[in-house]
Amino acid sequence: MRDDRSDLVVIGAGIAGLIAANRAAELGLRCTVLERGEGQYVCNTRLTGGMFHICMKNIARPSDESFRSILQAVPDLPSHDLARAVAENGERMVRWLRRQGVRLIKAGPDEAYWWVLAPPRTMQIGMPWKGRAGDVMMHTLEEGLIRRGGAIVRGAHAEALCMTGGVCTGVEAVVQDARRTFQANAVVIADGGFQSNLSMLRHYITPKPESLFQRCAPGGNGDGIRMAQALGAKTVGMSSFYGHVLNRAVFSNPALWPYPIMDRVVAAGIVVDAHGVRFMDEGLGGVYQANQIAKMADPLSAVAIFDAEIWQQAGRQSKLSAPNPALIKRGGVLWQATDLPSLARLAGLPPDALCSTIEAYNAAVRSQATAELSPARSPTKFKPAVIATQPFFAAPL
């Protein structure tokens, strides 16, 4: 006989799902977690570097400071309630994790590294994750759930929410080719985003989803979102994603995944389209840059333009993910020339247009008038630099 009734069913056994299930079990509820993956399934939580922070600041700061940091970073955030929930529960969450036996260490002087999963994940090519950071935390949380009487059902593909009289009463899932109904008083959907669903990416994010390199774990098919939408749920923030800017050669060179990233170089220099023209505010950082590239008619037409000084400074700025010298050592594509027309020809860009773009950009930087550029270039988060020191560089993104 199989008893598939629980107080709570959680869809997804990543960090969100396992924390929700463990906390509910702590409060005395009987919990079942449905996980589509088999065995030691790969998910973003296992691949994570394990840094807990809020906008690169100490997650244990007073909640009002964290709340202001979130709104400053994302002024058009769809939900202030969500921002406040994150700000008010950050410290509570990391201290709760410690009580579960999850080891968190201070891994560096910067606030973003004050709460890091141990043992830290290494930054090698291929990002080995077994026995480190998120993987260790996942094992700890799973053991805690089992100890509290909960269960994780692997190989369970949730397909629909059960409704009775307008109330959600469970989940329909396929487990080992057999359809099962997991009945519950409540359901938590925690199965991640939709990064692996090309049709949803095309609808919400980019006209060419195949042009976005998946820098994440396989999965994230948007099942939970679609199940909720089928019941009339409202969605917000679907048109943006978390990501970074990579060298275009990553599609054929696995040594360029998941690092190095080009964010800081782009933030100091410029990025242009196939016509040699700027199309974004590069100073808003890597996640913004990635989203703007994704929105292009051809995301693979974006090219970063910078000079020797930017390459030596911004190119080396991040000790974990800097492109200089890793990009060259790992076989990335980087064009170099002693003059801008020659650089344009190497990158397949119109020389006159690129030179005109850089001339206007340099003049605005020198006169501190980057706000008058079109599009404007904000100088607050990342300082712009003139592109004037030979040799000049271009990198396809």
* Residue at which a domain ends, from 155, 189, 223: 189
pLDDT digit string, tens, across residues 357-371: 999 999 999 999 999
In a domain, 24, yes or no: yes
Total domains in the chain come to: 2
State the Cα–Cα distance between residues 87 and 67, nearest whole angstrom. 5
**287 and 365 assigned to the same domain:** yes
Q: How much is the mean pLDDT over the chain?
A: 94
Closest CA to 330 of 259, 266, 262, 251: 259
Say which CATH number the domain at 151 has.
3.50.50.60
The pLDDT assigned to 73 comes to 83
**271 and 164 assigned to the same domain:** no
* Residue at which a domain ends, from 189, 211, 234: 189
In a domain, 56, yes or no: no
Phi, psi dihedral angles at 58 (to 5 degrees): -55, 120
For residue 64, the one-letter residue type is D
In a domain, 324, yes or no: yes
Length of the chain: 397
The pLDDT assigned to 77 comes to 82
Closest CA to 9 of 139, 261, 253, 180: 180
Task: Provide the pLDDT confidence category of residue 45 given band limits of 50, 70 and 90.
Answer: very high
Measured over the CA atoms of residue 308, residue 309, residue 314 and residue 318, the dihedral's sign is positive
In a domain, 287, yes or no: yes
Task: Provide the pLDDT confidence category of residue 3 given band limits of 50, 70 and 90.
Answer: low
Q: Is 80 exceeded by the pLDDT of residue 139?
A: yes
Percent of the chain predicted with pLDDT > 90:
86
Q: Cβ atoms within 10 A of the Cβ of 12, count?
A: 27
Q: Is 60 exceeded by the pLDDT of residue 2?
A: no
The pLDDT assigned to 381 comes to 86
Range of the domain at 390: 248-396
**309 and 376 assigned to the same domain:** yes
**170 and 254 assigned to the same domain:** no
**183 and 42 assigned to the same domain:** yes
The pLDDT assigned to 1 comes to 32
pLDDT digit string, tens, across residues 93-125: 999 999 999 999 999 999 999 999 999 987 777
In a domain, 112, yes or no: no
